[in-house]
């Protein structure tokens, strides 16, 4: 709007100048050519100048003004256009900014989530490790107990075997030396009576 006014003002400058020139011509014609007269043109000069001026004005009004105004209008349109564009760009950038902000927030949220997840997982893993360590410790203890038990059993079995060996050795010695011939014969007699048959099988 403001521009439009300016352009109108510009157009009216030469008109105003023309209007102002006319009383000045009249004034100069009255006073003659003394001091101040030097300022005013003489009538003889004035008339052709006026005519030239009018001709120039007419020519300009006919050909110059439209071109000039067209140019100015075009420029005004361009400026208006770019203004509008700037406006939409601004809006767009605001929208994008909002979007970016939202994304950033989401990413932040995601990141916290991932961290929380990782933390939770770490927690799980930790619990797992602790639990497995605990069970391992327990099994080690159980195994140690078992090993001790086994050692004990083996030792007892060993002892038993050697005890048995010794007992039998002693028994052999005792029976071998203590029995008289008569006693041997009694044993034989008894065994014969009790022994099985050749036919069985």
**Chain positions contacting another protein, by CB under 8 A:** 114, 117-118, 120-121, 124-125, 139, 143, 150, 153-154, 156-157, 159-161, 163-165, 167-168, 171-172, 175-176, 179, 181, 184-185, 187-201
Minimum CB distance to another protein, residue 121 (Å): 4
Minimum CB distance to another protein, residue 97 (Å): 26
Minimum CB distance to another protein, residue 171 (Å): 6
Residues 6+ apart with CB under 8 A from 11: 65, 69
Residues 6+ apart with CB under 8 A from 25: 40, 41, 43, 46, 50
d(CA 164, CA 181): 28
Q: Closer to another protein at the Cβ: 88 or 199?
A: 199
d(CA 130, CA 137): 10
Instruction: Identify whether the C-beta of residue 25 lies closer than 8 Å to the C-beta of residue 40.
Output: yes
Count the neighbouring beta carbons within 10 Å of the beta carbon of residue 21: 14
Q: Closer to another protein at the Cβ: 88 or 181?
A: 181
Minimum CB distance to another protein, residue 83 (Å): 45
Q: Within 13 Å, how many C-alpha atoms sit on residue 59's CB side?
A: 6
Q: Closer to another protein at the Cβ: 30 or 200?
A: 200
Helix, strand and coil content of the chain, in percent to the nearest 5, comes to: 90, 0, 10
Q: Closer to another protein at the Cβ: 42 or 160?
A: 160
Minimum CB distance to another protein, residue 102 (Å): 19
């Amino acid at each position: 709007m403001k521009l439009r006014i300016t352009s109108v003002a510009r157009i009216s400058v030469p008109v105003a100048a023309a209007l102002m020139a006319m009383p000045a011509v009249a004034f100069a014609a009255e006073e003659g050519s003394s001091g101040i007269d030097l300022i005013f043109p003489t009538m003889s000069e004035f008339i052709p100048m006026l005519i030239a001026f009018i001709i120039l004005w007419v020519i300009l009004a006919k050909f110059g003004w439209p071109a000039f105004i067209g140019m100015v209008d075009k420029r005004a349109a361009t400026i208006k256009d770019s203004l509008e564009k700037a406006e939409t760009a601004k809006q767009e950038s605001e929208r994008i900014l909002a979007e970016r902000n939202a994304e950033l927030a989401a990413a932040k949220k995601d990141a916290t989530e991932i961290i929380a997840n990782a933390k939770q997982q770490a927690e799980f893993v930790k619990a797992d490790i602790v639990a497995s360590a605990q069970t391992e410790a327990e099994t080690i203890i159980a195994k140690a107990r078992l090993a001790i038990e086994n050692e004990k059993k083996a030792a007892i079995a060993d002892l038993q075997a050697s005890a048995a060996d010794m007992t039998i050795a002693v028994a052999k010695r005792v029976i071998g030396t203590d029995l008289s011939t008569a006693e041997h014969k009694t044993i034989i007699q008894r065994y014969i009576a009790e022994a099985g048959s050749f036919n069985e099988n």
